[in-house]
Structure 1
Amino acid sequence: MATLSLNYVLLIAIPILVVLTLVITFLLVVLLKRKSKNSSSSSSSSNSTSSTSFRKSIIDKSQISNAIDIGYSPADVRSCIYAGGKLIYSAALKERKRGGQVFTYKELELATDGFSPENVIGNGGFGVVFRGTLRDGTEAAIKVLHREGKQGEREFRMEVDLLSRLHSCYLVALLGYCADQQHRLLVFEFLPNGSLQGHLHPAAPCKQHRRRAPLDWCTRLRIALDCARGLEFLHERMNPAVIHRDFKCSNILLDHNFSAKVSDFGMAKTASDKVNGQVMTRVLGTSGYVAPEYASTGRLTTKSDVYSYGVVLLELLTGRVPVDSTRPPGEHALVSWALPRLTNREKVMEMVDPTLQGQYSKKDLIQVAAIAAVCVQSEAEYRPLITDVVQSLIPLVKSQDSMSSRYHHQIVVPVS
């Protein structure tokens, strides 16, 4: 009976022990798997951190290397690369590199033969411009800025900042600059045909330009369009818009093909997005080119540049300077003299630059006169956007170019 009872107990106990063993084994396997997964994750995280740290180290070294190559000081490097203790991809370095090279004063002194008077190609209130040859053989226009007061420093910083960001075939390119101790110099691409002023209002002949032929009508139209496109880039492609504030003939430079580029951005301002693009600022500019509302109130807008553009257009039409006290009474100021005549066809013909010798399209002349008339309106709201000026000039230039092309491709058959 006892044996039967023991067998009965074993029969019940053995399956229970087997089940418990299986359960415990299963639980141990699960625990081991979890532990293994956590360990792997921790290891991966550690590797990722070290990898990130390694990449960070690489970025630091490459960016610092690039920065040193283009002339940043160690302090500049840290301020450009780090923001709030976090590493960022520094677009500033790319802009600086793209914006131009940093030169030493000695390099530019050698490029201009010790700033020889024979290499002077421009002289004005801003400073002196020298023609120079850089170490790689590139010809350049090197502007030595006057350092009188804070204005010169502001103009230098404005040109470097703007031209490092502005890239257009209608704007003079900045090749580099020098901020060596007290010296402030700007290095621009060299444009061999000088300024528009030198062609329209030639002074005493110099060695670089002993004698210049008058600009023909077709060339004047193309210059007018190029200038308008330069201003269009500043007004319409930039956000906020850039107002040149000193647009005039002497700041329009001509390349070997007489294509025009706008230069000199030392007095430029960025328009405000808040007050209809207006900027309240002290009045600066050149007499005869300054818009009336800007001169009287200090309110500067893109329409102020349009007025200055209209004055340049009048110069291209008439060959006259904006202000000429040697002329008879009533003719001293170009705009006030020209405005009543621009809408009268007969009087427009009388206004034309005599050096053109009648070689122009009368139809095109009247259209250009109409554009000039609206650009120099005394009320800014009546002036067009510079984009509208561009669209008005394009068909005139295309027409002239096609006529010129037909003329040059004519086959002359000798009469027997």
Structure 2
Amino acid sequence: MAGKTRGGKAFLENGSMLLEKLVAACNGRPIPIRIFSYHELVSATNNFDSGLVLRVDAYYIWYKGSHEGRTISIKKHGSNPCPIESIFTDIAISAKIRPHKHAVKLIGCCLETPLPILVYESITNGTLAARIYASDDDGVPQQRRPMAWQRRLKIARDISHAISYLHTAFSRPIIHRQISVFSIVFDQHDVPKLSNFFDCITIPKGETCVCVSFSGYGRGHQCPNYVQTPYVTEKTDVYSFGVLLLVLLTGRRAPHMVESVRNRRINEIVDAAILAEGGADMERQLQAVLQLALACVDLEPEIRPTMVDVAKELRRIDRTQKYK
């Protein structure tokens, strides 16, 4: 009985906070997300069996689950939990961006635990980080299949559209603040999806920036203007996306990436797996993407392109510089 009482209290408190977030984020429009019971998620994961763990990240443990004949992915807080306010932001923004085909699709959540548990479509094919990096976080080499350049470019195009959607599809721009290879996941059909909306922030109506303290997460890909000042703009995400482009080009980790590629020849920085594909046409395409990436990471935010312009340029590069 005591457990049920605690679960009921958590449900009421979390439900109230979630409703407030959803109303604010979605302007009162109905959002089709399901509320799961804790028992349903225990059943779906065989009591959160460690053998069903997909991955562990900074704040969460991801589990593979099965519910009503459907494979799902469950995001449960770990030993270093995300602040509860950020969890509700994650739910609200995930619900709002749900229609976009390159944003991870939230199915619902469980509110019976002190920290809500989130339920998503099946995203069991890992992160971009696991595919692009030759070693894990501790520097231990990991097996990976070389990723073809056209596949990397397609991922960049798809994710640029998702970020552009955040920036332009709503009355107030939404800034992601965590664009990186760790925030890009692949669903069961291997479609890339943008995830990790817990750090999103909305720019107030009539403003071009918002004042907020740096969260401290994801330093390797963060815009230096954001790290050094309390201001966030759309160009904050543009910088991070530029770092993402550089990682796709080089296969190297983000820290110090920008400094390491400036003023160097394309064949000195590009991933050897890409260079092995060869071809002058491909080299021109790589050079065009490098120039776009460097424009995105310009130290002057005003000089950086918008994400809409970035998406258009990637489309132009893909269409006009195809190689055989």
TM tier relative to shorter chain: 0.7 to 0.9
Instruction: Give the TM-score of the pair, scaled to structure 2.
Output: 0.84
Paired residue for 2:263?
Answer: 340
Greater CA drift, 224-233 or 182-191: 182-191
Using CA pairs under 8 Å that are at least 6 residues apart, name the structure with larger relative contact order, 1 or 2. 2
Map of 1:133 onto structure 2? 66
Structure 1 pair 375–242 and aligned structure 2 pair: CA distance change class (3 A): same
Pairing 1:144–2:76 present: yes
Structure 2 residues not aligned, in runs of 5+ = 1-10, 21-25, 137-141
Deviation at 1:191, TM superposition (A): 2.4
The reply on whether 1:245 has 2:168 as its aligned counterpart is no
The match for 2:51 is 118
CA, structure 1 residues 244+91, in 2 after alignment: closer, same or farther (shift >3 Å)? closer
2: distance between equivalents of 1:132 and 1:383? 42
- One-letter identity of the residue aligned with 2:195: S
CA contact (8 A) 2:35 2:108 kept: yes
User: 1:240-298 deviations in whole A, cap 9, x for unaligned?
Assistant: 010001111011012355432110100100012333x2111010231111111111111
For 1:242 and 1:183, the matched residues in 2 are separated by 24
1:261 corresponds to which residue?
Answer: 193
* Structure 1 segments of 4+ aligned residues over 6 angstroms from their partners: none
Shift of 1:122: 1.7
Which structure has the greater CA radius of gyration? 1
Name the SS of the counterpart of 1:175 in structure 2: strand
Q: Which segment drifts farther, 256-265 or 368-377?
A: 256-265
Q: Does the 8 A contact of 2:59 with 2:79 survive in 1?
A: no
Q: Check conservation: 2:267, 2:275, Cα contact below 8 A.
A: no
Quote the Cα distance in structure 2 between the aligned partners of 1:93 and 1:383.
34
Q: Which has the higher helix share?
A: 1
- 2:34 corresponds to 1:101: yes
Q: CA deviation at 1:355?
A: 2.0
Amino acid at match of 1:355: A
Q: Is the 8 A contact 1:195 1:252 kept in 2?
A: yes
What secondary structure, in the 3-state scheme, does the structure 1 residue paired with 2:76 have?
A: strand
CA contact (8 A) 1:163 1:173 kept: yes
Indicate which of 288, 291, 309 corresponds to 2:223.
Answer: 291
CA distance in 2, matches of 1:349, 1:257: 33
Aligned with residue 305 of structure 1, among 237, 240, 259? 237
Residue 155 in 1 paired to residue 86 in 2?
yes
Cα deviation, 1:297-344, whole Å, max 9, x if unaligned, reads 111011000000000100000000012xxxxxxxxx111111232xxx
Q: Which residues in structure 2 correspond to 1:45-194 (within 5 Å)?
A: 92=28, 94-95=30-31, 98=32, 100-134=33-67, 136-146=68-78, 151-166=82-97, 167-194=99-126
TM-score by length of 1: 0.66
Residue segments in structure 1 that go unaligned for 5+ positions in a row: 1-70, 81-89, 205-209, 324-332, 342-346, 405-416
TM-fit CA distance, 1:202 = 4.8
